[in-house]
């Protein structure tokens, strides 16, 4: 692959995400809640069901993993998804693009590595259209309502990691949680002669803070253990300087294990708990697991993964569930200075009142070490 191709690929990824950090709702379950939590995973990690995220320095989940980045490197992730939502007998197709993660890191001393970047914390893009008939002035008036939200809450991360020992790396990060959504609510009246369309627009700003710590410990030369913990404060929603909502953000923790049984095979598994239940209406605590593998040479591996668990928001007393499978490939080029990763993921989510959501996501990632 030539330098021109690398630049084109990078530009393509940037064009994919440049209009907005996140533009399409990942799930219908997040509409009646704070949003849809983002995945802090690179394409490589996501192709393995997320199991490799704790060990992947370009997945903004765990800071300790960047301790092994010995040269300045940048990684970007792009995703395009096609989603089908079945509400009983009705089915709707949706599509959207996202730019869920960006990480730039490099050493600042012989031991310490600094990384900055952003990732989607909560995706808040959606559009809802409903039909109804209301009674006005003694007559039944059919109306169509459209409520749309376009934007996301982004996690801006500054992370510091260091390898304290040959077998131990530690990392810490502070997180600025910020973002905005452009929101509109439109009511169209079928009787447009007498009733004008009502349009309300606003911009909602979001603010919050968080901190995280993590560690990687090599039990043996082939077995690595990861643990992480993260606490986020509150998510404050402001409209024109006035706070309209203040919701708790979760305390999260998780762990993972990676085993390298051979030179061309890696297997990993990860679990994570997030205490979302305090985050307002329709919120639930979640547990998620993942299992994945990477096979083949380091320059062009094949990846497979499976994941499962719960979604943070959804109607009813129990959390919606999610199950997904994924696969992908990677290709190093320019002597290992760059890498393109491709992935394909299929998710199925089920929630109360018989709602099923199926999502196909095409993933494209680029990692460049200038």
Partner 1 sequence: MTRRSTRLALLLALGACTEQATAPGVCPDYCPGGQITVVDTTFTDMILGDSTFGHYREAYQGRGLPVADVPGLIDSRAVFAMVGAVPPRVTNRPSPDTTTVPITMDSARLRLNIIRRDTATKNLWVKVYRLSFGLDSTTTFAQLVPAFTDSIVDSVNVSALLASPQITDTATVRIWGDTIQTDSAGHVLQVGADSTLILFFDFDTTQARYVPTDSGKVAYGVRVSADTLGSISLGSLESDRSAALKWFFTYPDTNAAPVQASAERPSIFDTFVFSPPQPPVDSTLAVGGAPAARSLVRVKIPEILRDSADVVRATLILVPVGPVPGAPGDSFTVVAEPVISDLGAKSPLSTQTDFYGVKTIHLNVADTVRIEMTDLIRSWALDTSATTAFMLLQSAEAATYAQIRFYSTRTPAFRPALHITYVRRYAFGVP
- Could you say which residues in the range 117-146 bind partner 1, by CB under 8 A? 125-131, 134, 136-137, 145-146
CA angle in degrees (0–180, nearest 5) for 25-27-33: 90
Applying CB under 8 A, which part among 25-33, 48-56, 164-172, 221-229 lies near partner 1? 25-33
342 binds partner 1 (CB under 8 A): yes
User: Does residue 292 contact residue 279 with C-beta atoms inside 8 Å?
Assistant: no
* Smallest separation (angstroms) from partner 1 to the CB of 103: 19
10 Å CB burial of residue 321 (0-12, 13-18, 19+) is: middle
33 binds partner 1 (CB under 8 A): yes
Residues 204-243: x where in contact with partner 1 by CB under 8 A, - otherwise, as a string = x--------------------------------xxx----
Phi-psi domain of 125 (left: phi exceeds 0; alpha: psi -120 through 50; beta: other):
beta
Q: Exactly one of 9, 101, 152, 173 binds partner 1 (CB under 8 A); which one?
A: 9
Three-class SS state of 2: coil
DSSP 22: B
d(CA 240, CA 243): 8
* Smallest separation (angstroms) from partner 1 to the CB of 223: 31
Nearer to partner 1, 109 or 133 (CB): 133
User: Does residue 33 contact residue 279 with C-beta atoms inside 8 Å?
Assistant: yes
* Smallest separation (angstroms) from partner 1 to the CB of 364: 5
85 binds partner 1 (CB under 8 A): yes
Nearer to partner 1, 186 or 227 (CB): 186
* Smallest separation (angstroms) from partner 1 to the CB of 334: 12
User: Does residue 92 contact residue 117 with C-beta atoms inside 8 Å?
Assistant: no
38 binds partner 1 (CB under 8 A): no
- Could you say which residues in the range 185-204 bind partner 1, by CB under 8 A? 185, 187, 189, 194-200, 202, 204
d(CA 52, CA 267): 8
Task: Kindly determine how many residues on this chain lie close enough to bind partner 1 according to the rule CB under 8 A.
Answer: 81
8 binds partner 1 (CB under 8 A): yes
Nearer to partner 1, 197 or 265 (CB): 197
105 binds partner 1 (CB under 8 A): no
Q: What are the residues whose beta carbons fall under 8 Å from the beta carbon of 61, sequence distance 6 or more?
A: 40, 41, 45, 53, 54, 228
Nearer to partner 1, 75 or 254 (CB): 75
327 binds partner 1 (CB under 8 A): no
d(CA 51, CA 226): 11
318 binds partner 1 (CB under 8 A): no
Q: What is the sign, positive or negative, of the torsion defined by CA atoms of 165, 271, 313, 79?
A: positive
Applying CB under 8 A, which part among 52-60, 104-112, 254-262, 275-283 lies near partner 1? 275-283
Nearer to partner 1, 119 or 361 (CB): 361
User: Does residue 14 contact residue 113 with C-beta atoms inside 8 Å?
Assistant: no
5 binds partner 1 (CB under 8 A): yes
* Smallest separation (angstroms) from partner 1 to the CB of 89: 11
360 binds partner 1 (CB under 8 A): no
d(CA 290, CA 50): 6
What's CA 214's distance to the chain center, in Å?
A: 19
């Amino acid at each position: 692959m030539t330098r021109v191709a690398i630049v084109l690929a990078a530009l393509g990824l940037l064009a994919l995400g440049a209009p907005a950090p996140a533009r399409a709702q990942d799930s219908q379950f997040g509409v009646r809640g704070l949003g849809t939590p983002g995945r802090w995973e690179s394409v490589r990690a996501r192709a393995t069901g997320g199991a490799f995220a704790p060990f992947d320095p370009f997945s903004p989940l765990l800071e300790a993993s960047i301790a092994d980045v010995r040269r300045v490197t940048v990684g970007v992730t792009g995703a395009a998804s096609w989603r089908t939502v079945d509400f009983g007998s009705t089915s709707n197709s949706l599509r959207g693009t996202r730019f869920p993660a960006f990480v730039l890191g490099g050493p600042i001393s012989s031991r310490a590595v600094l990384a900055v970047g952003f990732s989607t914390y909560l995706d808040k893009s959606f559009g809802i259209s409903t039909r109804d008939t209301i009674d006005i002035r003694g007559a039944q008036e059919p109306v169509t309502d459209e409520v749309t939200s376009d934007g996301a809450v982004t996690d801006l991360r500054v992370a510091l990691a260091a390898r304290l020992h040959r077998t131990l790396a530690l990392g810490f990060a502070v997180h600025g949680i910020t973002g905005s959504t452009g929101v509109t609510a439109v009511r169209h009246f079928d009787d447009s002669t007498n009733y004008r369309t009502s349009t309300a627009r606003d911009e909602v700003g979001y603010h919050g803070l968080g901190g995280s710590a993590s560690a990687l410990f090599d039990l043996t030369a082939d077995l690595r253990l990861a643990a992480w913990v993260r606490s986020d404060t509150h998510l404050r929603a402001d409209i024109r300087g006035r706070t309209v909502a203040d919701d708790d953000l979760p305390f999260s923790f998780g762990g993972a294990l990676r085993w390298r049984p051979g030179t061309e095979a890696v297997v990993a598994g990860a679990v994570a708990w997030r205490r979302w239940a305090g985050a307002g209406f329709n919120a639930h605590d979640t547990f998620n697991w993942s299992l994945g593998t990477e096979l083949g040479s380091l320059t062009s591996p094949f990846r497979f993964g499976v994941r499962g668990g719960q979604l943070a928001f959804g109607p009813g007393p129990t959390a919606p569930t999610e199950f997904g499978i994924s696969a992908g490939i990677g290709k190093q080029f320019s002597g290992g200075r760059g890498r393109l990763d491709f992935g394909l993921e299929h998710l199925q989510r089920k929630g109360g009142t018989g709602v099923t959501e199926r999502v196909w996501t095409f993933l494209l990632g680029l990692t460049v070490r200038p």
